[in-house]
Amino acid sequence: MKVTNPTVKKLLEKYREISLLGNISAVLDWDLNVNLPPKASQARSEQSAYLTSLITDKWLNPEFKSLLEQANSHLDLLNEEEVSTIRSLNRSARFYHKVPKEVIVELTKTSSESLIAWQKARKENKFKDFAPFLKRIIKLNQLIAQHLGYKDNPYDALLDMFEQGLTVKKVRSIFVPLQPKLTNLLMKIKRSKQYLPESNLVDEQLNYSVDHQKQVALFALKKINYDFEAGRIDTSAHPFTIELDANDVRITSRYKTNDFRESFTIAMHEGGHALYEQGISPEYSGTPLSGGVSFSIHESQSRFWENHIGRNPEFINWLTPTLQAFYPEQLGQVSGDKLIKLFNHVKPSCIRVEADEITYGLHIILRFEIEDELINGRLKVENLPKAWNAKMKKYLGIEPKTDNQGCLQDVHWAHGSFGYFPSYLLGNLYAAQFCNALEKEINVEELLSRGELGTILSWLRTNIHQHGSLYWPDELVKRVTGEKLNPKYFIKYLKEKYSRIYSL
Catalytic residue positions?
270
How many angstroms separate the Cα of 413 from the Cα of each of 112, 226, 253, 298?
A: 11, 30, 20, 19
Nearer to Mg ion, 86 or 309 (CB): 309
Cβ 240 to Mg ion shortest distance, Å: 8
Task: Name which of 281 and 302 has its Cβ closer to Mg ion.
Answer: 302
Helical (H) or strand (E) element with 245: strand 241-245
CB of 426 to Mg ion, least distance (A): 12
Close Cβ partners of 329 (under 8 Å, ≥ 6 residues apart):
none
Distance CA 279, CA 291 (A): 10
Between 208 and 304, name the residue whose CB sits nearer to Mg ion: 304
CB of 410 to Mg ion, least distance (A): 12
The rounded distance, in Å, linking the Cα atoms of 200 and 377 is 45
User: Cα 320 to the chain's mean position, in Å?
Assistant: 28
390 within 8 A of 81, measured Cβ to Cβ: no
Least separation in angstroms between residue 273's CB and Mg ion is 6
Report in angstroms how near the CB of residue 9 gets to Mg ion at its nearest: 35
Least distance (Å) between residue 269 CB and Mg ion: 6
Measured from the CB atom, the residue of 119 and 302 that comes closer to Mg ion is 302
Residues 106, 53 contacting (CB under 8 angstroms)? no
The Cα–Cα gap between 112 and 46 comes to: 9
CB of 270 to Mg ion, least distance (A): 7
Beta carbon nearer to Mg ion, 305 or 395 = 305
Closest CA to 91 of 153, 148, 7, 20: 148
Pick the closer one to Mg ion by CB: 7 or 433. 433
CB-hemisphere CA count at 13 Å for 334?
Answer: 27
Question: b/e map of 353-362 (b: 16 or more CB within 10 Å)?
Answer: bbbbbbbbbb
CB of 423 to Mg ion, least distance (A): 9
Cα–Cα distance, 147 to 95 (Å, whole number): 9
465 near 279, Cβ under 8 Å?
Answer: yes
- Residue 169, burial from CB neighbour count under 10 angstroms (0-12, 13-18, 19+): exposed
Give bridge partners of residue 235 from the DSSP assignment: 253
- When the beta carbons of 290 and 302 are compared against Mg ion, the nearer one is 302
Nearest distance, CB of residue 461 and Mg ion, angstroms: 19
Identify which of residues 287 and 307 has a Cβ nearer to Mg ion in the complex.
307
CA 27 – CA 136 distance, rounded (Å): 26
DSSP assignment of 439-460, as one string?
A: HHHS-HHHHHHTT--HHHHHHH
Give the other-Cβ count within 10 Å of 321's Cβ.
10
C-alpha 18/C-alpha 65 separation (Å) is: 14
CB 424 within 8 A of CB 174: no
Binding residues for Mg ion (CB under 5 A): 302
Beta-strand runs (E) in 59-124? none
Nearer to Mg ion, 159 or 242 (CB): 242
The residue of the chain with the least Cβ separation from Mg ion equals 302
What whole-number distance in Å separates Cα of residue 428 and Cα of residue 361? 8
- 432: nearest Cα among 483, 472, 471, 368: 483
User: Would you say how long the chain is, in residues?
Assistant: 504
